[in-house]
Amino acid sequence: MSEPALAPRNALGGVLVVWAVAFVASIAVGIFVPEEWRVPWLLVAFGGIVLLSFAVQLWQGRTQGFIFRVGGSAIGALLLMGVISVGFGLAALVT
């Protein structure tokens, strides 16, 4: 990795992939898991998302901005999953 990449991959693509997986995982947890087990399963899903963000950024093979990209993908996924879980919590209060 001492030579610069001639055509480096887009760093935003890996972050967006992690966010998309977080969106799908939180919707799946909200639909398929009973209400009393949603929070523990959301935590398990977020742990998998953090591991996925490391794997995606390591797969890209770029050292510049690694921590920034992993942090951005993990924090963005956390916020996204939090907003979706608030939506499911409000929906549980209404019904």
In a domain, 6, yes or no: no
At residue 95, the pLDDT reads: 74
Quote the number of domains for the chain: 1
Query: Tens-of-pLDDT digits for all 95 residues of the chain?
Result: 566 666 666 778 889 999 999 999 999 999 999 999 999 999 999 999 999 999 999 998 888 889 999 999 999 999 999 999 999 999 989 97
At residue 74, the pLDDT reads: 95
In a domain, 63, yes or no: yes
In a domain, 1, yes or no: no
In a domain, 52, yes or no: yes
- Structural domain boundaries enclosing 38: 11-94
Rounded to whole angstroms, the Cα distance separating 7 from 76 reads 26
In a domain, 32, yes or no: yes
In a domain, 55, yes or no: yes
